[in-house]
Amino acid sequence: MDKKFGFYICSGCGIGEAVNTEWIMDNVPKEEGYSNCTVHPFLCSKEGVDIINQDIKEKGVNTIVIGACSRRVNYDVFKFSGCILERVNLREQVVWSHARPEGWTMPEEVNEDEPDHLQMMAEDYFRMGMVRCEKVSLPVPYKLDAKSDKILIIGGGITGMQAALDASKAGYASTIIEKDGQLGGYAAKVRKQLPIQAPYDQLISPIVQQKIKAVESDSNISIKTSTVVARIAGQPGDFTVTLKAPGEKIEFDVPDPVPPEMRVDEKGKDLEKEKLDEIYKKINEGKADILKLDPNGEKFGAVILTAGWRPYEPAKDEFSHLGYGAIKDVVTNTAFEAIAKNGKIVRPSDGKEAKSVVFIQSPGQGKDDDFSYCGSVTSMVTLKQAKYVREDYSDDGKAFVFYQHMRTPGLSENFYKAMQQDPGIFMSKGDITSVTQDGDSLMVEAKDTLLGESVQVKADMVVLATGMVPVTHDDPVVNLAYRQGPGFRDIGLFDDYVDSNFICFPYETQRTGIYAAGAIRRSLTMEESMEDATGATLKAIQCLKSVDRGEAVHPRAGDQTFPDFFFQRCTQCKRCTEECPFGALDDDEKGTPKPNPTRCRRCGTCMGACPERIINFADYSIDSIGSMVKCIKVPSEDDFDEPPLRILVFLCENDAYPAMDMAGMNRMQWHHDVRFIPVRCLGSVNTIWIKDALSQGMDGVLYIGCKHGDDYQCHFVKGSELAEIRKSKISDALASLALEEERVAMFEIAIDEYDKLPKIINTFMEEVEALGPNPFKGF
């Protein structure tokens, strides 16, 4: 691309009153291709935008640097097709966050003896924007040669059927596969269903049969029962799926790299999913055959995972104080539902009427926990089943509910209140101490009730409100032919639920193009699962449209770049392949990375991981960020008697950069010696940028990004965590420069914690000041 630059500065919003915009323009090279420089008092106005469009049309400008407000605002105004665009944040990042002293007036010429910190900052940022534009190129979208728009739906329960119906309404064909011989899933096994519409206070008959009829009569939906996924290979828009019957052994045209003898332990028992995933992860060299496509597979563009859940089955001695496993009339809520589905509620032990039933929500014994895999749906099911007792024995039926937590979110509160008003349903907070056989009945003892007393309840049955285990706990289900393994990488937070980011992006998994809905994502009611199905379907359609346009899916929706590898220098270290949070990279027999561009979410984690620096994006590269670092002016004693410090801050664009914007909008102040560079994700930060910054005399480097750990909010799942790990290993590089480790630090911040940002920056500045200037300053 033959670049012709246009430079534009807005002097509005206080910018022109705080900095000399003409002096900023003096940074523009005086040579051909750099001659279009304009200062306008209201650049985002129609008149201001027309000036830029006129330069594009008449002067051939195709590379635009705008110094004005944050790139997070007016992004629809400053949009110029076919042009490289850089937005330099002079408003929030400079003049709003660094107030001039009262009575200050604009000097007529530069004071060579006294640094004008605000002017230097504005000039640095504009120069950085200009240099970045010199180094990047216009992205060319990656488009598949052949693409499928068909959606595969794994699981034929109420969630999967709703997803298929929603896809059909949007004009997309789908295939439902169901491992059982019929559709319906657990929804076909219940007596009644929780309310799904206002006033949300009465149980309703199951609607699952209506859904089955609807999908069976829809020409856009094909159904395959008694079918499971043998393997999914490829990438969004071009998945190759091999299907099989449950238990069927399929011999692919190439062998699986994990032979049968490696899939079992020393006792012959199947390995747990985590251990099997680890084996897949370790097998690389010469074992890439599993990544080859099945020539007989079916083509799909996206996958919706609605495989559902299985009941949590406690071990026989897990809740011995509750009598489970020893007393036949102590059952789980799933077993109780099966009894209710078959007719009147009777005791399993002898078939006699069960008119008095105790429902236990928590294991007790002084613990505040619920049973494993529980949620609000478990509370709702308990109330539903208590109502069964009253329906079957309206005169003398009694249901007793003991809980530590009763959760009925939203309008489900109406159902809770309706059950409260039933004279035969009794609810109390309580800690169950024991369940024992008392002749023909059971005796339930509880303490710490709402009345503060211990109570004893005589019952015919006891029901434990056990949870809903996602089927991915036992089986990857999707059986991916990915280098990182057949399932979803465990991030240690969700007990095998398949969400990749429960805060920011519901329905998404860590595998692009595969979306989760229903109880495989979290414990949900049928109503919530159907809503979930709609959301996941829309995500799948969004993915298909993005693939059409050659763009990334969320969170960098619309990004047309993709990682470009300079393979001649690749050392097959496999760091990019292993560290990619989304499994976007496979590898060949030698371990050379094999990109799958439509799997990629453009986070740049691979770029940050690569020690050879051979991975780049068209508009985001090692060179472009490195050049921005190098063009920051670092004053020395040759410039001023007491040269100011320079601190470089890498800001994650997802949480930290918006937080910085909000701090600026609130006129919060931070130290003027700081220079920000926004990055796609902290995971994309390559340590060479740290070395470059420190070796040219910068006094410290700060990473600020999303939170990770138990409260993780990283938009790219593992970026912040990987950045923390890499930063901890940078001590060798600092030692080679004879610099202190304290000169590099990392902080986590949520998007709404903007008020903490100035303190983080200023505190780090004080710590660096205590260390003294970088000894490389001036060299």
pLDDT value at position 318?
87
Q: Which tens digits make up the pLDDT trace of 103-152?
A: 999 988 877 778 899 999 999 999 999 999 999 999 999 999 989 999 99
Q: ∠ CA 643-645-647 to the nearest 5 degrees? A: 155
Q: In what order do the strands lie in the sheet with 238-244?
A: 228-235, 238-244, 298-300
Per CATH, the number for 320-466 is 3.50.50.60
Give the burial string for 160-170 (b: 16+ CB within 10 Å, else e).
bbbbbbbbbee
Q: Which helix (H) or strand (E) holds 458?
A: strand 455-459
Q: Which tens digits make up the pLDDT trace of 462-513?
A: 999 999 999 998 888 999 999 888 888 654 445 678 876 656 788 999 899 9
CB 664 within 8 A of CB 676: no
pLDDT value at position 289?
46
For residues 93 and 71, give the distance between their C-alpha atoms in angstroms, rounded to a whole number: 11
pLDDT value at position 11?
97
pLDDT value at position 710?
67
pLDDT value at position 728?
85
pLDDT value at position 498?
84
Residue 352, C-beta contacts closer than 8 angstroms, at least 6 positions apart: 346, 460
Largest alpha-carbon pair distance within the chain?
100
| CATH class of the domain at 1-138 | alpha beta
pLDDT value at position 589?
79
Dihedral (Cα; 444, 449, 452, 457), 10-degree rounding: -30
pLDDT value at position 470?
93
486 prior amide bond cis, ω within 30: no
Q: State the average pLDDT over residues 686-700.
A: 94
pLDDT value at position 452?
83
For residues 574 and 484, give the distance between their C-alpha atoms in angstroms, rounded to a whole number: 11
Q: Which tens digits make up the pLDDT trace of 626-646?
A: 999 999 999 987 778 788 999
Q: Which tens digits make up the pLDDT trace of 758-778?
A: 999 999 999 999 999 998 887
Q: Which tens digits make up the pLDDT trace of 410-431?
A: 999 999 999 999 999 999 999 9
pLDDT value at position 730?
86
pLDDT value at position 284?
42
Count of alpha carbons within 13 Å of 505, Cβ hemisphere only?
A: 26
Q: Which tens digits make up the pLDDT trace of 47-64?
A: 999 999 999 999 999 999
| CATH class of the domain at 620-779 | alpha beta
Task: Report the 10 Å Cβ neighbour count for 315.
Answer: 9
The domain 564-616 having CATH identifier 3.40.50.970: the answer here is no
Q: Which tens digits make up the pLDDT trace of 299-343?
A: 999 999 999 999 999 987 888 999 999 999 999 999 999 999 999
3-state secondary structure of 655: coil
At the topology level, CATH places domain 151-254+295-310+471-549 in FAD/NAD(P)-binding domain (3.50.50)
pLDDT value at position 262?
59
Most confident of 174-188, 577-591, 732-746: 174-188
Q: Is the pLDDT at 557 greater than 80, yes or no?
A: yes
Q: Is the pLDDT at 224 greater than 60, yes or no?
A: yes
Measured between alpha carbons, how far is residue 433 from residues 36, 66, 90, 360, 538 in Å? 80, 69, 65, 11, 47
pLDDT value at position 502?
58
Look up residue 95 and give its DSSP letter: I
pLDDT value at position 407?
93
Q: Is the pLDDT at 65 greater than 80, yes or no?
A: yes
Q: State the average pLDDT over residues 542-570.
A: 95
Residue 184, C-beta contacts closer than 8 angstroms, at least 6 positions apart: 156, 157, 158, 208, 209, 212
Domain with CATH 3.40.50 in the chain: 1-138, 620-779
The mean predicted confidence, pLDDT, of the chain is 91
pLDDT value at position 365?
79
Task: Give the residue, 602 or 368, on which the prediction is more confident.
Answer: 602
Q: Is the pLDDT at 708 greater than 80, yes or no?
A: yes
Residue 408, C-beta contacts closer than 8 angstroms, at least 6 positions apart: 376, 379, 380, 383, 415, 416
Percent of the chain whose predicted confidence (pLDDT) is above 70 = 93
CB 572 within 8 A of CB 578: no
pLDDT value at position 487?
85
Domain with CATH 3.50.50.60 in the chain: 151-254+295-310+471-549, 320-466
Pair type for strands 647-652 and 674-679: parallel
Helix axes of 622-630 and 117-135: crossing angle, nearest 10 degrees: 150
- Residue closest to 227 by CA, chosen among 167, 160, 132, 275: 160
Domain with CATH 3.30.70.20 in the chain: 564-616
CB 333 within 8 A of CB 325: no
pLDDT value at position 315?
85
For residues 313 and 144, give the distance between their C-alpha atoms in angstroms, rounded to a whole number: 45
Q: Is the pLDDT at 385 greater than 70, yes or no?
A: yes
Helix axes of 158-169 and 208-216: crossing angle, nearest 10 degrees: 40
Type of residue at 13: C
For residues 229 and 263, give the distance between their C-alpha atoms in angstroms, rounded to a whole number: 18
Q: State the average pLDDT over residues 211-230.
A: 97
pLDDT confidence band for 253 (50 / 70 / 90): low
Q: State the average pLDDT over residues 163-181.
A: 98
pLDDT value at position 776?
85
Give the burial string for 237-254 (b: 16+ CB within 10 Å, else e).
bbbbbbbeeeeeeeebee
pLDDT confidence band for 252 (50 / 70 / 90): low
